[in-house]
Structure 1
Amino acid sequence: MFDIDIRLLRLFNSIYERGTISEAAHELNIRQPAASSGLKKLRQHFDDQLFVRVGHKMQPTNTARDMLPLVVEAIEKMRIVNEFSKGFDSLNASRTFRISMTDSHYLSVVPTLISYFDKHAPSIKLDIVPIDNDTALLMSKGEVDLVIGFVPQLQERFYQQRFFDEHYVVIANSENTHILNNDLSLELYQSAEHIGILPRGTGHYLIEYEIQKLNIERNIVLRLPSHLGLGTIVQRTNLIATVPEQMGRLLQEYVGVSLYPLPFELPSWSIKQYWHEYAHHNADNQWLRQTCFNLLQS
């Protein structure tokens, strides 16, 4: 038996995720014979096939499934060791942070961060990616540094810190002829034509659930997977939409939509930043979290 090195662990993880040796070799930038040789060593070491071919894919054995959490943890800890530093010099550091957030926060969060980085961290770059069903896995692998939004499913092995509480409002065309005297009643809300927005991977479904619990019926004639372009659609039609207040105020400023309070009570939801436990002591991540908290919390 020989000692397993980090390269073999990365190979194991890549085969597990990709399902083929060729795709794993491509991801790791190694030749396929080298990947096959590495898998052979892993099989000998653990006295198990680890992956068996079923159709065109390599399916993990029970042993491989049991190993996966340990392998992911080992890879992440090695990454932390490689990146360890006593502090983070933002003025001289050159790196890219990847942050997942909903599109409803692009308009408010990103300009604030970029303005700060321009003065205090000139060589820091941002890679903004959407929140989706793979976000938790990507964070556990160190491929996403931080999540900003309302993501209640990030619980076990994640830290979180509250920024502010989000309330919901209604936006409508500033010349919407169905809303008289600037008054949006419950009756009018239910009879209006709505845009439904349900971004993937977020807690927005809880808002939909709360509205249903109140037995409030909406005539949804258009469904969108995100808030992108929402303001323009609302301003050019008589459709209305229920959105986070912060986004509503930005669309009011930039697009000219009108803002109305909801004609019923909904609970507020906390907008937070989330990070994986393996990044908790990383100096770079600590600086990013503290910066975001200082700029965004209220």
Structure 2
Amino acid sequence: MLDIDTRLLVIFFEIYQQNSVSKAAEQLGIGQPTLSIALNKLREHFNDPLFIRIENKMQPTELSNQIYPMVNEVLNRLKLIQNYNIGFDPKRSDYEFKISMTDISHLVLLPKLMNYLREHAPNIRIEILPISANTAKMMSNGEIDLAIGFIPQLEAGFYQQTLFPQHYIGVAKKNHPRLQLPEITKRQYCNELHVDVLATGGHYVLEHELQKYGVKRNVLVRLPGYLGVGLVVQETDAIATVPHYLSQILLK
């Protein structure tokens, strides 16, 4: 029986990720014939085609789907071993970290993070990616180094830490024609038009809490994220219920 070395596992991983022999070869920087020879060795070892060409894509077989998580785990552990005891000097490192963030984190945390890095790790670069349904998978694959935000869909197996508690607060434009700020009654809150934000899990938590108190909002507009909330509230009579730290940014 053929012994499987790390190189063959890496080739299997890339074909699975890319759904293409040519793209996998390009990603690995090797010739396509070399990769095809390696794939044939894997097929011989497992006595399975592993990948079948369907509509110009290399689709994994059931066996490939079964062994992929194990291959991924082995490669991740090898990466940890290879990097073990390698010192990290923030002043010298030019590593690019990939961080998933919610749009609130863009507004509240990202400027502070950038200023901190400029002072303490001037050569470090970061790439920001959105929080999505694929965030957990991308973290498992090593495609993302860190995720920051409210991510209730994250399953067990990830190290998680609370950065700070969060509560919601209502915001309205200055000189609102009907509201005497800073406090309003429950009846006034229900009677006003609202800006709703369908962002990650926070939206569902807010709706659940409002329903507990018998509050039903009259929604004027629903936004996919928080980035447009400030202008909508400023230019209309609608009010918005947003996380406290975001409200501090909007009130500046």
Say whether the fold is shared (TM-score over 0.5).
yes
The alignment status of 1:249 with 2:248, answered yes or no, reads yes
Which secondary structure state, in structure 1, belongs to the residue aligned with residue 194 of structure 2? strand
- Matched residue type, 1:10: V
Which secondary structure state, in structure 2, belongs to the residue aligned with residue 38 of structure 1? helix
- Matched residue type, 1:245: H
Per-residue Cα deviation, 1:274-298 (whole angstroms, up to 9, x for no partner): xxxxxxxxxxxxxxxxxxxxxxxxx
Shift, 1:56, TM fit: 4.0
Shift, 1:86, TM fit: 4.4
Partner of 1:274: none
Q: Which has the higher contact order (CA 8 A, sep 6+)?
A: 1
Structure 1 residues 218, 203: CA separation in 2 closer, same or farther (over 3 Å shift)? Answer: closer
Structure 1 residues 31, 223: CA separation in 2 closer, same or farther (over 3 Å shift)? Answer: farther
Say what the alpha-carbon RMSD is for the aligned residues.
Answer: 2.1
- The alignment of Structure 1 onto Structure 2 pairs a total of residues equal to 252
Partner of 2:231: 232
Structure 1 residues 32, 239: CA separation in 2 closer, same or farther (over 3 Å shift)? Answer: farther
Structure 1 residues 40, 181: CA separation in 2 closer, same or farther (over 3 Å shift)? Answer: closer
Give the distance between the partners of 1:13 and 1:212, measured in 2 at CA: 47
Check whether the contact 1:101–1:130 (CA below 8 A) recurs between aligned residues: yes
Partner of 1:43: 43
Shift, 1:144, TM fit: 0.9
Check whether the contact 1:169–1:244 (CA below 8 A) recurs between aligned residues: yes
Structure 1 residues 208, 35: CA separation in 2 closer, same or farther (over 3 Å shift)? Answer: farther
What are the equivalent positions in structure 2 for 1:44-193 lying under 5 Å apart?
44-180=44-180, 182-193=182-193
Shift, 1:213, TM fit: 4.1
TM-score under structure 1 length normalisation: 0.77
Give the distance between the partners of 1:46 and 1:116, measured in 2 at CA: 50
Shift, 1:203, TM fit: 4.7
Per-residue Cα deviation, 1:88-117 (whole angstroms, up to 9, x for no partner): 221222211111111101222122222222
Check whether the contact 1:99–1:144 (CA below 8 A) recurs between aligned residues: yes
Deviates more, 1:235-244 or 1:33-42: 33-42
Which secondary structure state, in structure 1, belongs to the residue aligned with residue 156 of structure 2? coil
Shift, 1:17, TM fit: 3.2
Check whether the contact 1:150–1:204 (CA below 8 A) recurs between aligned residues: no
Partner of 2:209: 210
Runs of at least 5 residues in structure 2 that lack an aligned partner in the other structure: none
What are the equivalent positions in structure 2 for 1:259-274 lying under 5 Å apart?
none
Structure 1 residues 92, 48: CA separation in 2 closer, same or farther (over 3 Å shift)? Answer: same
How high is the sequence identity, in percent, across the aligned residues? 42
Check whether the contact 1:194–1:239 (CA below 8 A) recurs between aligned residues: yes
Runs of at least 5 residues in structure 1 that lack an aligned partner in the other structure: 254-298
TM-score under structure 2 length normalisation: 0.89
